[in-house]
Structure 1
Amino acid sequence: EEEQEEEKEEEEEEKERRMGQRKKRIATAARICPCSLSPVSLSADVTYVLWMFLVSLAWNWNAWFIPVRWAFPYQTTENIYYWLLTDYLCDLIYILDITIFQPRLQFIRGGDIVTDKKETRKNYIKTKRFKFDVASLVPLELFYFLTGINPMLRLPRLLKINSFFEFNERLEAILTKAYIYRVIRTTTYLLYCLHCNTCLFYWYSALDGLGSTSWVYNGEGNSYIRCYYYAVKTLITIGGVPEPTTLFEMVFQLVNYFVGVFVFSIMIGQMRDVVGAATAAQTYYRSCVDNTIKYMSSYRIPRDVQNRVKTWYNYTWQSQGMLDEQELLVQLPDKMRLDIAIDVNYSIVSKVPLFQGCDRQMIFDMLKSLRSVVYLPGDYVCKKDEVGREMYIIKEGEVQVVGGPDGKTVFVTLRAGSVFGEISLLAVGGGNRRTANVVAHGFANLFILDKKDLNEILVHYPESKKLLRKKARKMLNKGKNPEPKQEPKEPPRVPAAPVRTETPRLLRAALEMTERSSGLKGALAKVKEKTNKSKRHIITLQV
């Protein structure tokens, strides 16, 4: 029985192992060929981006080599099979894109992302892109049997240009420095225009006869390089080309000049926009620096202050790449700003002992209110006895708590993750004044939380507010030195009026005699009581 149980356990383990392997294969297949592809996040599906890269390569093959094979004698009977093999391979990529990938592209309907395969297929069929994709695969190659292998019959393949533009958008979404790719792409557009002009010039030269006139290509040297040189001089309007002799040559030259002016100006404008967008932040930085220097010079600010301002600008730009990171986040929704703040700052704030144990959502709300400030070496972050309106969290660098007779004695050095200014901010200890001087030891990057923002946050988290105040009191009491115990002192003696002892004795003797003689006991008792009270009062004053 034990052996049978062991065999059953082994069989179950084997089944589980096989099921696990099968699930892994299914998951791998789903990643390679998913049921649906997301168009919302342009960089979410790497598989689709790689596939669009292949489609873009196929489109570029047709765009660059169709005019070359039509104009230049590069397609011969010896290599025709290699050309056709590559052509049909590109056609296969087109077919796979139309039948497999594009019908799985998700779309948005009424704010909801539709992932159903049937619905995505119907949506793709209704789009104009589907019509262009189908038109790009029109089999005009059937006319090869009548006209021979003419590359111009493959011109409909260029109708799939939407795939090329989509690949550019998705690639720019992935790249961190997309402006570099934009510069390369704009340069490629110019090269392609020159490429087409080269093919047209050689085609007319071959049609009219190589070397037949001084204007056409004479057939010497490398045909493509010589014709490309001519295209550059005419399309970019450099000049220095031979004068046209025939009517067609004149018309061709005029069209070249006319188109060249527009094409070249458009390319230069696009290049200017791309470079301007890439250097917009640096241009803004230089503008701020120049305006600040101009302002300080007009008001004759001391030279040492101007140098410190310049140093702050240079360090802030080199360390952060921007002057105010809050400007970039203003247009984003609160949810996205919170996500960015959590990724950037939560690891630092969560390690602060003051906030440990507080409500997690309270910390999230506080992250959105933090602002980053850079202090130079020797800058006073806060001074003693000034009104505290901010709390500081050290992000990078060090600050020192200084004091003493000369104001330069270092009591403690605070490093990244430390918090200071919370006691005066929370008004613990009976006031909101700073209790010490804090100086930046080197370049220090601090997070600043304003008192107004903190109070608005703590209104919604009363328990966290109590916890913060409790911790702040402990920190305040921990920093105080215990006062020495003092022995109780004797209270000072109050001088009393001099006491006359003779009068009470005579009065008592007279009263006793009167009491015996007259028997007026009630009156004597009252006088005696007043005398005793007067005596007790005198004794108390002496003590």
Structure 2
Amino acid sequence: MWIPMMAAAAQHDRVVLSPRRLQQHQQQQHTPSPDRDRHGRRTYLHMVPILPPPPAVPAINDGQDTIISDRLQDTSFQYTSAAPSVISGNAFTTPSKIPNSINKLNLIQSHPNKWGSSRKVHERSTGPDWFETKMANAKMEKKRSSKCFWSSSFVVDPTTHFHYKWLMLVTVTILYNLVFVIGRGVFWELNNAMPTIWWILDYASDGIYVVDTLVHAHEGFLDQGLMVRNSHKLRENYFSTSKWKSDFLSLLPTDLAYFWWPSGSCSADVLPCPVIVRANRLLRVPRMLEFFDRTETKTGYPNVFRICKVVFAILILIHWNSCLYFAISYVIGFGSDNWVYNLQGARNSSLSRQYIYCFYWSTLTLTTIGETPQPENELEHVFVVADFLAGVLIFATIVGNIGSMISNMNVARVEFQNRMDGVKQYMAFRRVSKELEARVIRWFAYTWANKQALDEERVLAALPDKLKAEIAIHVHLDTLKKVEIFQDCEPGLLEELVLKLRLQVFSPGDYICRKGDVGKEMYIVKRGILSVVADDQKTEIATLSAGSVFGEVSVLEIAGNKTGNRRTANVRSLGYSDLFCLSKRDLWETLRDYPEARHSLMQRGCQLLRKDRLLDEDAFLQAQTQNETINEAVSRLGMYKKVLFNYK
């Protein structure tokens, strides 16, 4: 019976009605009210103001004029405090909101159809659609919940500094549980010493765990190279891995076991202490390892950090083993034999004595060095054998890792030493003078002391070209801007030139260039002092310091240069000097793609030559005319080629 009703309701705006409401609906269809149409749907004609009749319009097909409803003319504009109105069976607004809702007048007009006849067409006013209303409500809900942890806009970027600091706080909390949950569970004096402080620290760490679970569930991840920021997808990714299991297990309220724990526990007679039920908090260790990995990539001393991490792991293992030794001594009986811990005496009953002795015993056992008391029963033998095996396996791995770390720390030094030994062997084989050999050795010592023995090209070879360019720009761009001819050049040219710069180190007394040499490089002084000397090699003409540039005109090959692109002075290094070198070939390869910059550089070079009266104007103009003639010929050949191609 419901199926025909539902079908009938689907024909009228797809609203499913109960049998009683359906009967009322059918009655309304047969007896429409003054403010309802023949389908029982509410109209708004009673609220439309009276409009004057429009001028007569000639009929298009059958001569009938447009008819304005008499009902519209007889109705005055008014508002009523009625219930929510209904259009198409959907409640969407009240009459008080009609001015913002009605888009069309509810008119009954005569329109000619395609057969040339006239028929009545009902046009009813339209209001906000249910879908638009739903979307508007959804947007408002999203705006209200934008700051909620579980909203669609909350996301934590794992690459930010905030996330790193948060991991640091979580790691401190995990370290607290690693050390004190096990320690307080065995050493009763430690647990009973500060009960209020332990209670505050315990539940403060639990609060951090809860917040970290929410942060962990909303950590962004990369999908096709883009950071996913949709909370729904983030939670799906979180629950698709095993991360959520350790997070939720570490949050289980095992502290409720305190209510069933026997009173008077946590003493020399009753162990372990109730705090041992919080051992599930140790399951949060993967977050600490994540922090260690992040720190290893961020720190400038990764090898030192790795060694510290290994030492920390050793100390934690020794601490846990010492707590286990003390617990086994309790199970067997304190002082029952020579192997277990003896509580007799005021000295042995203190907390410091208990922990230090157990830590000492654990260190000797795990490292298999030194003498320890011999076990006397089966449980003691099993525990010692397990300790020996664990010590051999664990410390073999640890020692191997430390050895490899120390070797990696000395790789650069070993490579540098091998290069220097090879040069010394070559000089000894070729019988180089002692003075020159001493200069070479001093040069090696200077480069190593100033961190310049690093092969930059090999170190940066693993990076993509864009990152190489950014590093080079960060290091060399300010230096290149100091060159007068490169000032006001377009950034693209400078970014390509910085990749061509090469660092050269000169020893005291080395000549960078001599008068009359063909200029093939230009130099920028990074560090050190250079002296410009006369032909007698003694008279000092000028001094160059950091930021000075020389040789820039010779690499431009300007026609009309009276020096013929040769060096005009002798430049010598007074001490150790670091210079950036840019070769002529690299410069012109780069300028090939920047014709405007090439023209600008040539103009600047000509200005420098004119300033020093070293430019032959006639030769320069003649060469410029020849270049223009060649360019015109090349352009004509290109035009002829186009014409021939079009003709074919």
* Cα shift at 1:35: 4.1
Q: 1:253 aligns with which of 372, 381, 384?
A: 384
In structure 1, how many angstroms separate the alpha carbons of the residues matched to 2:194 and 2:554?
Answer: 84
Q: Deviations over 1:394-444 (max 9, x none)?
A: 11222222223x233222222222222223322232744333322112221
Q: 1:184 aligns with which of 308, 320, 334?
A: 308
Q: Deviations over 1:37-77 (max 9, x none)?
A: 323x3xxx222222211211111111111221222223556
Query: What are the within-5 Å matches in structure 2 for residues 204-353 of structure 1?
Result: 204-219=328-343, 221=348, 222-320=353-451, 322-353=453-484
Cα gap change, 1:298 to 1:214, in 2 (>3 Å): farther
Q: Counterpart in 2 of 1:425?
A: 555
Q: Counterpart in 1 of 2:537?
A: 407
Find the residue that maps to 2:462 and give its secondary structure: coil
Q: TM-score, normalised by structure 2?
A: 0.65
Find the residue that maps to 1:212 and give its secondary structure: coil
Q: Counterpart in 2 of 1:370?
A: 501
Q: TM-score, normalised by structure 1?
A: 0.76
Quick check: 1:153 aligned with 2:274?
A: no
Find the residue that maps to 1:240 and give its secondary structure: coil
* Cα shift at 1:114: 1.7
Quick check: 1:438 aligned with 2:571?
A: yes
In structure 2, how many angstroms separate the alpha carbons of the residues matched to 1:466 and 1:398?
Answer: 33
Gaps of 5+ in 2: 1-146, 263-272, 617-648
- Does the 8 Å CA contact 1:68/1:74 hold for their aligned counterparts? no
Find the residue that maps to 2:499 and give its secondary structure: helix
In structure 2, how many angstroms separate the alpha carbons of the residues matched to 1:378 and 1:75?
Answer: 70
* Cα shift at 1:389: 2.4
Q: 1:69 aligns with which of 181, 184, 193?
A: 184
In structure 2, how many angstroms separate the alpha carbons of the residues matched to 1:79 and 1:357?
Answer: 70
Q: 1:106 aligns with which of 217, 220, 242?
A: 220
Quick check: 1:358 aligned with 2:489?
A: yes
Q: Deviations over 1:113-146 (max 9, x none)?
A: 1223343333323332122211211222333333
Letter of the 1:64 partner, please give it.
V
Q: Deviations over 1:181-237 (max 9, x none)?
A: 322221111111111111111111121112211222223531111111111111111
Cα RMSD over matched residues? 2.5
In structure 2, how many angstroms separate the alpha carbons of the residues matched to 1:370 and 1:174?
Answer: 28
Q: 1:96 aligns with which of 188, 203, 211?
A: 211
* Cα shift at 1:270: 2.1
Quick check: 1:202 aligned with 2:326?
A: yes
* Cα shift at 1:315: 1.6
Find the residue that maps to 1:74 and give its secondary structure: helix
Between 1:235-244 and 1:466-475, the stretch displaced more is 466-475
Q: Counterpart in 1 of 2:605?
A: 472
Q: Deviations over 1:5-58 (max 9, x none)?
A: xxxxxxxxxxxxxxxxxxxxxxxx99xxx943323x3xxx22222221121111
Q: Counterpart in 2 of 1:54?
A: 169
Query: What are the within-5 Å matches in structure 2 for residues 445-464 of structure 1?
Result: 445-464=578-597
* Cα shift at 1:295: 2.8
Letter of the 1:38 partner, please give it.
D
Find the residue that maps to 2:336 and give its secondary structure: coil
- Does the 8 Å CA contact 1:381/1:438 hold for their aligned counterparts? yes
Between 1:227-236 and 1:382-391, the stretch displaced more is 382-391
Quick check: 1:38 aligned with 2:157?
A: yes
- Does the 8 Å CA contact 2:606/2:615 hold for their aligned counterparts? no
Find the residue that maps to 1:384 and give its secondary structure: coil
Cα gap change, 1:77 to 1:468, in 2 (>3 Å): closer
Cα gap change, 1:175 to 1:340, in 2 (>3 Å): same
| Bigger RCO of structures 1 and 2 (CA < 8 A, at least 6 apart) | 1
- The answer to which structure has the higher helix fraction is 1
In structure 1, how many angstroms separate the alpha carbons of the residues matched to 2:328 and 2:614?
Answer: 99
Quick check: 1:121 aligned with 2:235?
A: yes
Between 1:427-436 and 1:54-63, the stretch displaced more is 427-436
* Cα shift at 1:279: 3.5
Query: What are the within-5 Å matches in structure 2 for residues 480-499 of structure 1?
Result: 480=613
Aligned residues between the structures: 446
In structure 2, how many angstroms separate the alpha carbons of the residues matched to 1:456 and 1:481?
Answer: 26
- Does the 8 Å CA contact 2:184/2:191 hold for their aligned counterparts? no
Find the residue that maps to 2:189 and give its secondary structure: coil
Find the residue that maps to 1:434 and give its secondary structure: coil
* Cα shift at 1:248: 1.9
Q: Deviations over 1:81-134 (max 9, x none)?
A: 4333322221111001112x2233211112211223343333323332122211
Letter of the 2:294 partner, please give it.
R
Cα gap change, 1:304 to 1:78, in 2 (>3 Å): closer
Gaps of 5+ in 1: 1-28, 484-543
Counting aligned pairs with the same residue, the percent is: 35
Q: 1:130 aligns with which of 244, 249, 269?
A: 244
Q: Counterpart in 1 of 2:129?
A: none
